[in-house]
Chains A and B, each alone.
Chain A
Amino acid sequence: MPHESAPVPLHTRRTHFDPADDLRRLAADGPVTRVSLAPGAGGEPLWLVTGHEEVRRVLGDHTRFSTRRRFGSRRAAEDDGERPDEGVGLLMDYDPPEHTRLRKMLTPEFTVRRMRRLQPRIEAIVAERLDAVERAGHPADLAELFASAIPGPVLCELIGVPRDDRDDFLRRCHAHLATGRGRQERTAAGSAFTRYLAALVARQRKNPDDGFLGMLVRDHGSEFTDKELRGICVLLMLAGLDNISGMLGLGALALLENPDQLALVRDDPAALDRAVEELLRYLSVPHAPTPRTAVEDTTLGGRLIRAGDTVVCSIPLANRDPHLTAEPDRLDLARDPVPHVAFGHGIHHCIGAALARMELRIAYTALLRRFPGLRLAVPVQDVAFRVRSTAYGVERLPVTW
C-alpha cells in the first residue's frame, strides 16, 4: 500500500500536462530502459518501455508478455500461483485461454450500438452534475462536482445498480478501492461492497433485467461463477472511475487553457470526436497498463529482456513519441486522429472504450454549452493535480463563468 510520504513512482511523474523531465530523459536514452520505478524505496529494477512502436509490440504480444504470470512469479512460493480471491474476474490479469473465454462473453455487451442505448441516461447524469455546479455558485470546483461525480453513476447505470442504492454502493466502492486507508478499514469496506454485489448478482440471476448483468446471466448464466460476475463488476469500477474522472477534469483544464481550441470544439459538435481522440492522446491519464512479465528471452528496442523480467509500458511517453505524430507535445484538437495507446493495445485493449468515448463527448459538450463563459477562478499554478492514483487528474479545479 503506498504511503503518503513514499516517493511518487517514476513512471507516474508529471509536470502539468507533460511527462516529468526525469521521465523524458529516460525516453531520450532509448525506447526501452532498465530502471527502478521507486528509487531508494526498494523497488526492483524493471524495464520501462517508452517508444510507441515498442509499447504496441509488448501489449500486442500476449504469448511473450503475460499479465497472468505476475501471480505465478510473485506468489508462487505461497500458493502455487493460484489467483488470489480478490483477483477473480479481473480480466486484465488473465492470459488466454481464460482471458478469451471471459472476454468473448463480455464483448457483445460493450459494442458501440449497445453503449448508445445508455446515451440518454448519461446525458441526464451530466445535466444533474451541471445543475450542481450552477447551484454551488462561483467559484465552483469542477473536480468535485463534475469530473469525479459523473463516472460513478454512469457505471451504476451500466451495471444495473438500482437508483436508490447508488450512493451507498459508490461510497462502499470508493472505500474499498481507496489505497490511502488502513488495512482493517479497507477490509471491512471491501466485505460490505462484496456483500452488496453478491446480492445484486443473486437478484439478477433470479430476475434478469435488460442491463449488463441481466444480459450476462441470461445469455451465459451457467458459464460464469458468481465470483466471476462480482469480479467483473469490480473490474468495471476499477477501470472506469479514475480514468474517466481524470479525463474529465484534465480535459476541462486543457480546454480552458487553450481558448482558441475550445472555441473550435464549442462551435462545431462534429469536431468533437477528433478533439476527444486528441485529448485522450495528449493527456494520457492512465500511467501504465498492467505490468507484463516476459515469458521468454526477447529482444526489444535493442535490449535483451530475460524471461521473468517485469515490463512496464509508459502510456504518456508512447503517446508523445515523435514517430507517432508531428509535434507530439502540442495539443491540436484538429489533428487527424493518431493510433494512440490511451486505451491500451491488443487483447487487453479497454473493453469500455466505446463507453468512455461517448461519456467524454457528452460531458465536454454539455459543459461548454451550459457555461459558454467558463474560465479558471484561480491562477493556473494553483490548480491541484492528483499525483497518487492509477490515472492522472486534477484534485481541485475552481472555475467561474
Chain B
Amino acid sequence: MEVHVDRGRCAGSGLCMSYVPAVFDQSDDDGKVLLKAARPASGAAAAVRGAAARCPAGAITLSGGDARGR
C-alpha cells in the first residue's frame, strides 16, 4: 500500500495522527498532516484505511495492493 496526503485539502483535524501515529503526524507549524511512512507495514493497512475513510477533508488517498481491503 502507498499512502498519499494532499496537504492543500487537509483541514488540520489531527484525526489521522490519533488513529495511526506510526504513519501520520501533525505539523506544529501549520497544523496539517505530515506523512511519516508512505509505505506502511502491511499490519497497519486496516488502520490506515480507517484513517483515510474518516479524514474529514478527504485528504488521504491510498494506492497499491491492499489499498481497498478485502
Contacts and interface: CB of A to CB of B under 8 A. Distances in A.
Nearest to A345: B56
A112 B11 contact: no
A336 B50 contact: yes
A113 interface: yes
Q: Which 4 A-B pairs have the closest CB atoms?
A: A107-B31, A112-B14, A107-B12, A349-B56
A347 B17 CA distance: 18
Interface in B44-61: 50, 53-54, 56-58
A347 B57 contact: yes
A364 interface: no
A112 B50 contact: no
A337 B28 contact: no
Nearest to B15: A353
Contacts of B57: 60, 345-347, 349
A28 B13 CA distance: 32
Looking at chain B's contact residues, is the secondary structure mostly helix, strand, loop, or mixed?
loop
B29 to A, nearest CB: 6
- Chain A contact-residue range equals 20 to 34
A338 B11 CA distance: 18
B32 interface: yes
A111 B17 CA distance: 10
Nearest to B9: A347
B23 to A, nearest CB: 15
Interface string A108-128: 111111100000000000000
B50 A108 contact: no
Nearest to B14: A112
Given A60-B57, A107-B30, A344-B56, 6 more contacts: A110-B12, A111-B28, A112-B26, A338-B54, A345-B57, A349-B57
A104 B12 CA distance: 9
B11 to A, nearest CB: 4
B31 A349 contact: no
Contacts of B63: none
A337 B56 contact: no
A349 B10 CA distance: 10
A112 B54 contact: no
Nearest to A106: B31
A337 B19 CA distance: 10
B31 A111 contact: yes
12 contacts: A60-B57, A107-B11, A107-B32, A110-B31, A112-B26, A113-B28, A337-B54, A339-B56, A346-B57, A349-B11, A349-B56, A349-B57
A238 interface: no
B50 to A, nearest CB: 7
Contacts of B54: 337-339
B13 A354 contact: yes
A104 B11 contact: no
A353 B16 CA distance: 13
Interface in B4-42: 11-15, 17-18, 26-32
B53 to A, nearest CB: 5
Interface in A304-357: 336-339, 341, 343-347, 349, 351, 353-354
A345 B13 CA distance: 10
Nearest to A336: B50
Interface string A93-114: 0000000000010011111111
Contacts of B18: 112, 273
Given A107-B12, A112-B14, A353-B13, A339 B53 contact: yes
B56 A354 contact: no
B43 to A, nearest CB: 17
Contacts of B14: 111-112, 353-354
Contact of B11 (A113, A339, A347): A347
